[in-house]
A and B are shown apart, each in its own frame.
Chain A
Amino acid sequence: MSEKEIKKPLLQVRDLKQHFPIEAGFIMKKQVGAVRAVDGISFDVNEGETLGIVGESGCGKSTTIRSISQLYTPTSGSVVYNGLDLIKAKREELLDARKNMQMIFQDPYASLDPRMTVRTIIAEPLEIYKKRRMLEPQMSKKDIEDRVEELMERVGLNRAFKNRYPHEFSGGQRQRIGIARALALNPKIILADEPVSALDVSIQSQILNLLHDLQEELGLTYLFIAHDLAVIEYISTRVAVMYLGKIMELSRSSDLYKNPLHPYTKALLSAAPIPDPVIERKRQRIILTGDVPSPNVERVGCYFYDRCPYKMEKCKTNIPPMKKVDEHHEVACWLYE
C-alpha cells in the first residue's frame, strides 16, 4: 500500500498492559497468577495509514484490539484516541469515540447474529446511536434504510438480499456484511481482527481489495491484525511484530522483509512459505525449536529468550527496550545495542 507519510497520530497506545487474573479455590476465590496477554506495548497509528500487527496464536493480538476499544479494562497504560484517554474517559466521551472506532472480526460465522437479517445487522449501530441521540444529523427510518442499501452496494452485496439471514451467505459475503456494519457510523479508524484469515485465497484477495479501496475512498485508518505475514505486508504501511504480549520490532512494511532485525522476525519471515518452487528450494529456513511459552509467567529477561538462536547471557535477565535503529525502524533486542 502507498507509503503516505502522514504523521498525525490518531491513536496513541502507551505501555498498555492487559492481564487476566488466574483464580483458584471454590468458595474463596483467590488470585494465584495472571495471564499476561498484553504486557506493555506502545505504538502510534497515524491518520490514513494501516498499522499491521503480526504474531503467532496467543501472542495477544486480539486482546490488544479489545483493550484499545475498551471491551476490557486495561490493567495499566494509556490509549489515547484523538487526544482523549479512553481509559479515563467518561461514558459519553467513550461512546462518542467508539463511534469513530469500529471493529471487524475474524470469524464471519460466529460474529454475526444468526437470528438477525442482514438489514438489521448493518443498521444496528445506527439504531443504537439513534436511541442515544448521538447521531448527527439524526436519521429517519427512511434515512437508515437508504444508508443500509448504500452500504451493501458499497461492499459488493446485492441490496435485494437485505432481508436474508447470515447462514444464506458464503464466508466472503459474511465478511462483507461485517464490513458494511463497521462502516455504518462513518468511523475514522477500523480495528480489524484477522478479517481474512478464515477465507479461501481467491475470496481473501477480494476482501483485501475491498478494504484497500475503502481506505482510499473514505480516508480510513486501519489497525489490522493477522498472523499471515504476506497479508500484513501487503495491506500495511507499518508493521509491528508481536510475541508473548510484547512488540519485538516495528518498521515500515517494505523494510521489514528487506531488512528484518529481530531474530524472531527473521524466523517468522523465513518460515512463511512463498508460492514459488524455485525460490522455496533455495531458501534458508531458520527453524525455531519448541513452542511459544506460557504467558502466565512474569519475565525478567527477553520474552523471546527460550527460542532465540542468538541468545546471550545478558538477554536472560534484562528486558531489551525498544530502540530506534533508523527513522522508521525500531527493535527490542540486545543485538542492536
Chain B
Amino acid sequence: METNETRKTLLEVKDLRTYFKTDAGVVKAVDGISFKLSQGETLGIVGESGSGKSVTNLSIMRLIQSPPGKIVGGEILFEGDDILKVPESELRSIRGNKISMIFQDPMTSLNPFLKISTQMVETILLHQDMSKKEALKKSIDMLKLVGIPAAEERIHSYPHQFSGGMRQRVMIAMALSCEAKILIADEPTTALDVTIQAQILELIQELAQKLDTAVILITHDLGVVAGLCDTVCVMYAGKIVEKANTDELYARPSHPYTDGLIKSVPRLDKAQNGKLFSIEGQPPNVIDLPPCCPFHPRCSRKMEICTKQYPPVVDLGKGHEVACWLYAENKENSTDE
C-alpha cells in the first residue's frame, strides 16, 4: 500500500454540515465531518443505517434536495477549489467530469423507459466531445469492460431486461465512461449476491487502478472495506468517530463503537461457539441530539464527561484519529472541535 502523503490530495472535506428541516425537528444528518482523499486512493466510509453516509456523498455531488436539506457549513475542496461555491450552472462540469457516482439502487438511477444505449450515449455526450456513433462504440466497449456478454446486442435492452447484477455493472460502466477523477460508490453491491458482489468489487478495484481513479466506497460491510480500502472513516450519528488506514483500524480499533462493530460480525474463518459480541441498544435518532458523545448510551466504557460534551478528535499517530474521551485525557495534543 502506498502512503497517502506522497500522493496529491484530490478532495478535502472540511467540517461539512448538512441538515434537514423536518416537522419533528432538525436532522443533523452530517454534522462536522472532515477527511481527505488522494489520487488513486480508495477510501471506505462505514456506518449503520442512517449514520449519514449517503448524505455525505450527496453533499459532495451537491445533490442535496433543498428544502428540506441544506449544507449549512464547511468546505469541499476539489483540487483546491470549493465545490460549495461553484454556481449551479457550472455544477455539470463537476458531476460526471470530475466526480461520478454509483447509487445505492441502480433502478432509481436508470430510466426504466429508455434503452441502456440511449442512457449511456447521453451520459457520454454530456461530458465528452465526440459523435453519437463514437459514443455508442465507447458505451459498448465499457459494457464489455464490465463483463456484459453480447454487449453489442444487449446494449439495446431496457433496464428491466437486465438482472440486478447486470444493472449494477451498467451503472459502473456509465460512471466510468465519464473518466472522472473520483468515483463515489454508494453501497454498490448491497443488493447483490456474494458471488456477483465479488465480481463487481474486483471490477471497481481493477478499473480504478487502471484509470488511477480515486474511489469513495460507502458500505456497512466491514468485510468489503477490509478487502478494498486503503483508508476507512467510521461514521456514527452524523460524525466521523474514527479514521485510520485500514490495517491500523482493524489491528487497533480504538473507538468503542468501531471495536464493538468489528467484534459483532460473525466470522467464517474463526469457529465461534456460544454468543456473539454485541453492542446493546440502538443508534440514536439524529434529531435534536444533545451536545454529548452520541454513542455514550451504548458504550461500555462511558465516563461522566461523555454524557456532557462531545469528545475532541485525538490523533493517535500515523493519521489514526479518534473522537473519544478515553484518549483525550492522557493526550495533550487533543484539538478542540
Contacts and interface: CB of A to CB of B under 8 A. Distances in A.
A204 B222 CA distance: 14
Contact of B194 (A203, A208, A272, A280): A272
Given A201-B264, A288-B195, A1 B220 contact: no
Contacts of B265: 201, 205, 230, 275
B165 interface: yes
Nearest to B162: A291
Interface in A200-247: 200-206, 208-209, 212-213, 227-231, 233-234
Given A201-B261, A202-B260, A289-B147, A233 B266 contact: yes
Interface residues of B, number: 48
Contact of B250 (A171, A276, A289): A276
Nearest to A253: B271
A228 B194 CA distance: 8
B273 A1 contact: yes
Interface in A20-75: 56-57
B207 interface: no
A201 B276 contact: no
Contacts of B261: 201-202
Given A267-B195, A277-B247, A202 B222 contact: no
A57 B112 CA distance: 22
Interface residues of A, number: 51
A277 B246 contact: yes
Nearest to B191: A57
Interface in B186-220: 193-199, 202, 220
A300 interface: no
Contacts of A203: 48, 282
A281 B247 CA distance: 10
Contacts of A213: 275
B68 interface: no
Interface stretch (B20-28, B74-82, B223-231, B327-335): B223-231
Contact of A56 (B193, B269, B282): B193
Contacts of A10: none
Contacts of A276: 226, 250, 267, 269
A200 B165 contact: no
A254 interface: yes
B163 interface: yes
A273 B266 CA distance: 11
A263 B279 CA distance: 36
A280 B223 contact: yes
Contact of A209 (B149, B193, B221, B275): B275
Given A230-B266, A280-B223, A289-B147, A56 B247 contact: no
Contacts of B276: 205, 208-209, 212, 234
A253 B272 CA distance: 11
Given A205-B276, A230-B266, A230-B267, A273 B282 contact: no
B221 A273 contact: yes
B74 to A, nearest CB: 26
Contacts of B246: 277
